[in-house]
Amino acid sequence: MRTSRKAKRIRRHYGRMHKPGGLNLVSLMDIFTILVFFLMVNSSDVKVMQNTADVPLPKSTAQQEAVESLTVQVTGNAILVQGSEVARLDGIENADTYIAGLSEELSWRRNRWAEIPEEGLEVTIMAGRDTDYRLLRKVMQTCVDEQYRQVRLAVEGEVRNG
């Protein structure tokens, strides 16, 4: 049987207009763009210090928020500044009052400042609960000797209900 021109035209039109729809990504891209800007703006409100699992911090009930500053971390076998190792604990002498590798790193970072504030630079020390006090005192003394006189000790905040 032969189809008429009108039937062919209708079939062609129906075939063009009733194809499965394509994926429209414009709306999805708009949502993701807004989400990215929202996350970028709100991520600066949170003060989270990077901590490894092998440094259990002491508990504290202080209400003051953490201040972002240079971080010196005392782990089980090394001293890290901003995550990079500067000294090994087994190489630290008992008689020394400062730590050589830490002193060099702090000195290098201090020299990058155009002008050092009168009250000194800020540093946060992250040390575990079981860290030897003599080692902690050496770390603090090294920081103070290198003009990092605003020394803070990182603690883990207690969660309060109510």
Could you give the CA distance from residue 82 to residue 103 in angstroms, rounded to a whole number? 14
Structural domain boundaries in the chain: 5-43, 70-156
**Mean pLDDT, all residues of the chain:** 79
Q: Cα separation of 89 and 132, whole Å? A: 11
Q: Which region among 44-53, 59-68, 87-96, 116-125 has the lowest average model confidence (pLDDT)?
A: 44-53
What sign does the CA torsion over 129, 53, 51, 93 have? positive
Question: Quick one: 149 exposed, middle or buried, by C-beta within 10 A (0-12, 13-18, 19+)?
Answer: middle
Least confident of 39-53, 86-100, 118-132: 39-53
- Over residues 75-97, the mean pLDDT reads 83
Q: The tokens 């060099």 sit on which residue?
A: 104
pLDDT at 15: 76
Q: Please report how the helices 100-110 and 133-145 are oriented relative to each other, as an axis angle in degrees rounded to 10.
A: 30
Q: Could you give the CA distance from residue 15 to residue 3 in angstroms, rounded to a whole number?
A: 16
Percent of the residues in the chain that have a pLDDT greater than 90, as a whole number: 4
What pLDDT shows up at residue 48? 55
| Average pLDDT for 121-139 | 87
Measured CA to CA, the distance from residue 150 to residue 140 in angstroms comes to 10
Q: What local confidence, expressed as pLDDT, does residue 90 receive? A: 84
Q: What is the pLDDT of residue 13?
A: 84
- Average pLDDT of span 33-55: 69
pLDDT of residue 162: 47
> Which residue do the tokens 């702090």 mark?
106
Mean pLDDT of 30-58: 71
